[in-house]
Structure 1
Amino acid sequence: MPGPLLGVRVLDLTSVVSGPFATMFLADQGAEVIKIEPLGGDITRRSRAAIDKAGQFSALFISSNRGKRSISLDIKSEAGARIVKKLVAQSDVLVQNFRPGTMERLGLGADELRAQYPRLIYVSISGVGETGPYAKKRVYDPIVQGLSGFADIQSQAGTNRPQMIRTIVADKTTAVLTAQAVSSALYAREKTGRGDHIRVAMLDAMLSFLWPEGMMQHTVVGAEASSPDPNDRPDLIFKTVDGYITAGTISDSEWQGFCRATDDPELLKDERFATPAGRSVNATARINKMQEYIATRTTAEWLARLDAADVPCAPVLRRSEIVANEQVVARGIIEELEQPSVGRVRQPKPAARFEERPAAIGGPAPRIGEHSREILRDLGFDDAAITEMTLSKVVRIEGEGR
């Protein structure tokens, strides 16, 4: 069923995750996404363990590129660049995440293309932006975690040693913000008739994402670090007799509910925890006290008690437990589809659920250059010209010329 972006064509010249994940969201919402890959394919096809015999697919690639069509080009060649320009003429959005200056050197920069096609929405994703002393750095997710303060927030208790988050949070957050920005630009173009040049830096995205609670101590100018660091406390993972749960006690009613669930009337009398301010100042003592109680019963017992007391709580799931979790199953969040040359694969459905124009997984991830021939035919090239481009290594077509 067509999604809300039906009729929008996106050229995806991105690799790794921040760009491909962003354009995948647009594909889920109905856009036609043409992935322009180098002749060797996107690096993420090989940067994790391959899951097919041909070595074209990793799980990471599948989960960032589903529902797209692939054309494989040498865009550094004159012929390859001309093909890109012909595609631009028929497209609404171009997304690229080369290092700053690369697209300009190829004759595919924003100024040049937007001068020819003023309705084009041109998106440039970078690691730390196009200006400043770090602009030319090669940047991956851990670099941005280090620069943005995320590693500091995860610092080990006691040693204060910074730690990385064990997922590519900077890449994926940048992708979400990029997809949202593209939708805004499409809306504005409907009113003005003009496209835009959107620049999204991973560092900018992560500082924006981190700021509300992660930088509370540094929000008020002149009052930096005047209160205890809200992150300098144990996390809200509590060990039960047979597993782990999480529980929140921010409001008075939630704390009172937790106290009732313990069956210990003395806990409610503890003045340190009687108010929200007291629970914040004494957070370490409060969380350690909660752990003492929670360690005495099973996960099922605590969840039942806390639910009955209207205290926010949930089991802490291992990744192997997520697919079968009752809430995940009830919502139908995980879908299965056939990935050619791989087999059945699982993917989460699009998180934004549209009632009028539902988003949907548009199909499996493509092989390298799987759609090169049909895309080139649509541009007016005949089979003889396509064969010549394949033989001259301008174009790669799946199963041909290699």
Structure 2
Amino acid sequence: MDMPAKKNILSGYRVLDCSIAMAGPFAAQRLGDLGADVIKVEPVTGEWQRHVSAGGATGNRINVSFLSLNRNKRSLAVDLKSAEGKEVLLELVKTADVFLQNYRPGVAKRLGVDYETLSKINPRLVYVSMSGYGEDGPYVNNPGQDLILQGLSGAMMSTGRAGEAPTAAGQYLVDAVTAYSAFEGALAALLHRERTGEGQLVQTNMLDAITTLQMQELSVFTVGHKEQKRSAEPHAHVFIRAPYGAFATADGYIIIAFPPLKKFGEIIGEESFMTMQDEVDSWTRRDEIFAKTRERLTAKTSEEWLALFRAADIWCGPVYGYSDLVEDAQIKHNETFVEYDHPTEGRVKTPGFPLKFSKTPSEVRMGAPVVGQHTRDVLREAGFSDEKIEALEKSGAILAGSL
């Protein structure tokens, strides 16, 4: 008996993605991975991210940075600063379910695509607005850049050595958590709309997203009244007892996470740990414990130590680079990465969608588009005649690209 075909969970929903850089496009891509028809509304010159390489990585017609954040989207290239271009977008709003933008505060209103304007055209519209610091306030005009927000959030002062420069995350952490906040907000608002029929404005900002991510750490400070105190040794977290961090072995690095000191001392041959109390000395003698652990672990290879620690039920793990990660057995088992053929960039291997649905799975239906690749298709679907589309193209209000 044939099984019924599985549908994507957001099939039938349309998203207008007017965002740039990472956080907004990443959020919109999540919606596209779940089946939404995401139309990337970008200038006729192409979205900013198309012209900025990440890590120096380029592509054929689409650079790696843009490629990674814009799969499962169609590109509509339109000049929103022209009256004709704005008219095109407002027509599309009538059939949209979600409108997502991360313009600087005030820009959407100047362009005439703010929530008040669009909700009058489509009262069922879920309008997601992303910003660096909020829609108003003393920082409203400050640049919302990832590293700046990491520094402002307090997170960087929870790792690294005392007296040395604070330690930044090795990822665009603030952009990523803001993207997830916008993604969650869009889904919650769509659920509300399904129940009530009404759309609404959803606002999220980078500062609040990275601050609330630190729920435990900040509560230790605000409720438990414990200060952030970095150690002389590179302890991995100010609010977790020693030893906790990455340690060199004879041939690499491993992670050790707050083991029982007596058991740990027996394995590594550190007698001083035998008489220490986990919930006393692990805090007051943190640097000493870290240093002694570091000295002992260079005696064996990573594989040897990990085997010993795992046998004793001590929390530990390898420190991977990306070349190790992509070959990891669990990563392969989980099918964490997806692979697909792109018409201009060839075979693409990239992280996929992290959630699994038994009846409505995510899928890669298309790779990132070239600028304006779907302009004609989108406008025809919206009721524009071929003659009107040709006139818009001649006026420069739109760009109809091709592969």
Whether TM-score is above 0.5 comes out as yes
For 1:203, which of 190, 202, 207 is the aligned residue?
A: 207
Whether the 8 Å contact between 2:22 and 2:175 is mirrored in structure 1 is yes
Give, in whole Å, the separation in 2 of the partners of 1:342 and 1:231: 47
Give, in angstroms, the shift of residue 395 of structure 1.
Answer: 0.6
Going from structure 1 to structure 2, the CA distance change for 1:76 and 1:232 (only over 3 Å counts) comes to farther
Aligned: 1:293 with 2:302: no
Matched ranges for 1:51-200 at <5 A: 51-54=58-61, 57-154=62-159, 156-200=160-204
Whether the 8 Å contact between 2:379 and 2:389 is mirrored in structure 1 is yes
Give, in angstroms, the shift of residue 339 of structure 1.
Answer: 1.9
Matched ranges for 1:231-250 at <5 A: 233-235=234-236, 236-249=245-258
Aligned residue in 2 for 1:389: 392
Going from structure 1 to structure 2, the CA distance change for 1:232 and 1:220 (only over 3 Å counts) comes to farther
Give, in whole Å, the separation in 1 of the partners of 2:213 and 2:156: 14
Letter in 2 for 1:7: G
Is the partner of 1:297 in helix, strand or coil? coil
Whether the 8 Å contact between 1:217 and 1:229 is mirrored in structure 2 is no
Give, in angstroms, the shift of residue 230 of structure 1.
Answer: 8.2
Whether the 8 Å contact between 2:339 and 2:347 is mirrored in structure 1 is yes
Is the partner of 1:79 in helix, strand or coil? helix
Give, in angstroms, the shift of residue 25 of structure 1.
Answer: 0.8
Give, in whole Å, the separation in 1 of the partners of 2:397 and 2:232: 53
Give, in angstroms, the shift of residue 158 of structure 1.
Answer: 4.2
For 1:12, which of 13, 17, 24 is the aligned residue?
A: 17
Give, in whole Å, the separation in 2 of the partners of 1:329 and 1:260: 35
Whether the 8 Å contact between 2:72 and 2:365 is mirrored in structure 1 is yes
Give, in angstroms, the shift of residue 288 of structure 1.
Answer: 2.2
TM-score (norm 1): 0.90
Letter in 1 for 2:267: A
Whether the 8 Å contact between 1:24 and 1:66 is mirrored in structure 2 is yes
Letter in 2 for 1:79: E
Q: Percent identity?
A: 33
Aligned: 1:378 with 2:381: yes
Going from structure 1 to structure 2, the CA distance change for 1:246 and 1:50 (only over 3 Å counts) comes to closer
Is the partner of 1:341 in helix, strand or coil? coil
Cα shift readout 1:285-334 (whole Å, capped 9, x = no counterpart): 22222222221100111111111111222110112222112222222212
Is the partner of 1:237 in helix, strand or coil? strand
Give, in whole Å, the separation in 1 of the partners of 2:232 and 2:250: 27
Whether the 8 Å contact between 1:249 and 1:258 is mirrored in structure 2 is no
Whether the 8 Å contact between 1:257 and 1:310 is mirrored in structure 2 is no
Give, in angstroms, the shift of residue 151 of structure 1.
Answer: 3.2
Whether the 8 Å contact between 2:77 and 2:400 is mirrored in structure 1 is yes
Is the partner of 1:95 in helix, strand or coil? strand
Going from structure 1 to structure 2, the CA distance change for 1:372 and 1:269 (only over 3 Å counts) comes to same
Is the partner of 2:214 in helix, strand or coil? helix
Whether the 8 Å contact between 2:161 and 2:231 is mirrored in structure 1 is no
Cα shift readout 1:98-118 (whole Å, capped 9, x = no counterpart): 111111112211012113322
Give, in whole Å, the separation in 2 of the partners of 1:211 and 1:44: 31
Whether the 8 Å contact between 1:350 and 1:361 is mirrored in structure 2 is no
Give, in angstroms, the shift of residue 342 of structure 1.
Answer: 1.4
For 1:258, which of 264, 278, 281 is the aligned residue?
A: 264
Give, in angstroms, the shift of residue 87 of structure 1.
Answer: 1.1
Aligned residue in 1 for 2:345: 342
Give, in angstroms, the shift of residue 265 of structure 1.
Answer: 7.6
For 2:223, which of 209, 220, 224 is the aligned residue?
A: 220
Q: Which runs of 5+ in 2 are unaligned?
A: 1-5, 237-244
Is the partner of 1:354 in helix, strand or coil? coil
TM-score (norm 2): 0.90
Q: Which runs of 5+ in 1 are unaligned?
A: none
Letter in 1 for 2:119: R
Give, in whole Å, the separation in 1 of the partners of 2:24 and 2:264: 44
Give, in angstroms, the shift of residue 233 of structure 1.
Answer: 5.0
Aligned: 1:355 with 2:362: no
Aligned residue in 2 for 1:332: 335
Give, in whole Å, the separation in 2 of the partners of 1:260 and 1:162: 34
Q: How many residues align?
A: 388
Going from structure 1 to structure 2, the CA distance change for 1:321 and 1:207 (only over 3 Å counts) comes to same
Give, in angstroms, the shift of residue 200 of structure 1.
Answer: 0.7
Give, in angstroms, the shift of residue 338 of structure 1.
Answer: 1.3
Aligned residue in 1 for 2:240: none
